[in-house]
Amino acid sequence: MTEGSVPVARRHGHIRWPGAAIGLFLSGAAAAGAQSLPPLTEVAGDPARGEALLRDMGRASCLICHEISQLDEKDMGEIGPLLDGVAERYDAGELRARVADARTLNPDTMMPPYYSLDGLAGVARAYRGQTIYSAQEVEDVVAFLLTLTDEAAQ
Amino acid sequence: MMPAPRPLMRLAAWLCALALPGLATAQDAPRSGYSYMEPETQALQDDDFLNPGFFLVDQGLALWQQPMGPEGQSCAGCHGAVETAMRGVAARYPAFDPAADRLMNLELRIQAEMAGRMQATPFDYSAPEMLALTAVISLQSRGLEMRPEINDETLPYLDMGREIYETRRGQLNLACLHCHDDHAGERLRGDVISQGQINAFPIYRLLWSEAGSRHRMFEWCMQSVRAEPFARGSDEFVALELYLAQRGAGLAMEAPGVRR
């Protein structure tokens, strides 16, 4: 059939990260289902930029599948868990691991890998070889997620 | 006793699997996309005078009678009235064509008729005329059960279609089944995801402000996960169409449908 297609039965490969440098400091952590990831860049994430990115429908928005009650958005998705208070449940490293590649936690996840090219097949030309987010964009979104405390949800 | 030839055994396995849905997949009983729509959208489909898909049907009826090619042949000239000649046809398509030695859906069959018997230049796969002819033909199966024929010829296409349906693709790394089997009935952004059934096509889609074919819908879904879609009319999409027809076998045909 199509070249490079990955049948579901074989869809959980191990994690390969774009960029040799990033691969270097991830080796070890990524190998056995990383639950936590160290920062991807040296520049701290910016929560305001993260919020804007997360709400941008043209950028494979998290809100396609998740709801965050405090955001003034209509038609948020209900595929994934409610993200209210998510900062109480996970620290920065754990959130980063989920955004970068949720398959490290659940190989069958429906959540797209925002910062991994591992195992992708049949990608449209315009997006080939690119991750959904850049490393800095992952940092920004994680910084925003860290503001989602129980208090913020009130 | 002679062992059954392999294709037959696989066919038997398929039929068993289909008869025992609990064992085959986690999929629920087939449900038309209609049942997931808002009442207002359903009302648009229910009334033939309000249903925007009926513009296509009228056009299609005119085309059915229109002389084409050097000898001025029309579909009606060979087949007679569309109401009787085409009754049930769309419900059993895609079907294997021995002469062409391939699986054909309605569009490909129409192109073959035009290029062959009528010696006319076939309508493009996505031409408005093509959509109109498939609409008037599909209407003649309204209320009948969608049920393609699964046999030795169609079985390899069925397998190919299922593999496409289950394969993760695109930058978002999703297969059709992630949305249409695992999350039917749930909200994905502004849409309620349905089972992705094809019994209502061609559909008038409010989001498009126009009607579209089954393959246009497949293309839309693949593009939404940032995958490179197969070509409309390709073996891959016809195989996928067969798989979806079989997956929804028993659903009542309802073209022209109206969807959000």
Task: Give B130-181 pLDDT, tens digit per residue.
Answer: 999 999 999 999 999 999 999 999 999 999 999 999 999 999 999 999 999 9
Q: Which pLDDT score, from 0 to 100, does residue A24 have? A: 35
Q: What is the pLDDT of residue B24?
A: 39
B35 interfaces chain A, CB cutoff of 8 Å: no
Q: For chain A, give the percent of residues with pLDDT over 70.
A: 78
Distance CA A101, CA A135 (A): 12
Say which of B163, B183, B228 has its CB closest to residue A125: B228
- At residue A129, does pLDDT exceed 90? yes
Phi and psi, residue B174, nearest 5°: -125, 145
Looking at per-residue pLDDT, the higher value among A33 and A129 belongs to A129
Please determine, for residue A8, whether its predicted confidence score (pLDDT) is greater than 70. no
pLDDT of residue A17: 38
> What are the CB-based long-range contacts (under 8 Å, 24+) for A66-70?
A68/A148, A69/A153, A70/A148, A70/A152, A70/A153
Q: Mind listing the domains of chain A with CATH numbers? A: 2-27+39-153 (1.10.760.10)
d(C-alpha A22, C-alpha B100), whole Å: 53
For strands B203-205 and B191-192, give the pairing.
Answer: unpaired
Closest CA to B105 of B28, B217, B5: B217
The whole-number pLDDT of residue B221 equals 98
Confidence class for position B17, pLDDT limits 50, 70, 90: very low
**Which pTM does this prediction carry?**
0.88
pLDDT at A10 over 90: no
Per-residue pLDDT, averaged over A47-61, amounts to: 96
Instruction: Judge if ipTM > 0.95.
Output: no
In this complex, which of B171, B177, B187 lies closest to A132 when CB atoms are compared? Answer: B171
Are A120 and B173 within 8 A, CB to CB?
yes
* pLDDT tens readout for residues B184-232: 999 999 899 999 999 999 999 999 999 999 999 999 999 999 999 999 9
- Any idea where the domains of chain B sit in the sequence? 35-260
Measured between beta carbons, which residues in chain A are less than 8 angstroms from residue B163? 1, 5, 7
Query: Please, which pLDDT band fits residue B11 given cuts at 50, 70 and 90?
Result: low
pLDDT band per the 50, 70, 90 thresholds, residue A154: confident
Task: Output the six-digit token pair for B231.
Answer: 């070509």
Residue B61, pLDDT > 80, answer yes
Encoded tokens for B109 = 């069959």
Given a contact cutoff of 8 angstroms between Cβ atoms, the answer to whether B36 and B43 are in contact is no
Can you tell me the distance from the alpha carbon of B64 to that of A85, in angstroms, rounded to the nearest whole number? 61
Interchain contact B238–A (C-beta under 8 A): no
Q: Strand B203-205: give its sheet, edge to edge.
A: B210-212, B203-205, B257-259
Nearest to A96 by CA among A88, A104, A107: A104
Mean predicted confidence (pLDDT) in A79-107: 97
Considering only CB atoms, which chain A residues are within 8 Å of B166? 7-8
Q: Which residue, among B157, B163, B167, would best test binding to A if mutated, counting the most A CBs under 10 Å from its CB?
A: B167
Residue B10 banded pLDDT, cuts 50, 70, 90: low
Q: Is the pLDDT of residue A25 over 50?
A: no
Q: So which residues of B are the catalytic ones?
A: 221
**What confidence score (pLDDT) does residue A34 get?**
55
Q: Check residues B5 and B196 and name the one with the higher pLDDT.
A: B196
Question: What was the pLDDT predicted at B66?
Answer: 97
* Fold of domain B35-260: Cytochrome Bc1 Complex; Chain D, domain 2 (1.10.760)
Nearest to B165 by CA among B245, B96, B101, B95: B245
Binned at pLDDT 50, 70 and 90, residue B22 comes out as: very low
Contacts of A17 (CB under 8 A, 6+ apart): A23, A26, A30, A115, A116, A117, A118
CA of B231 to nearest chain A CA: how many angstroms apart?
12
DSSP code at position A58? G
Chain mean pLDDT for chain B: 92
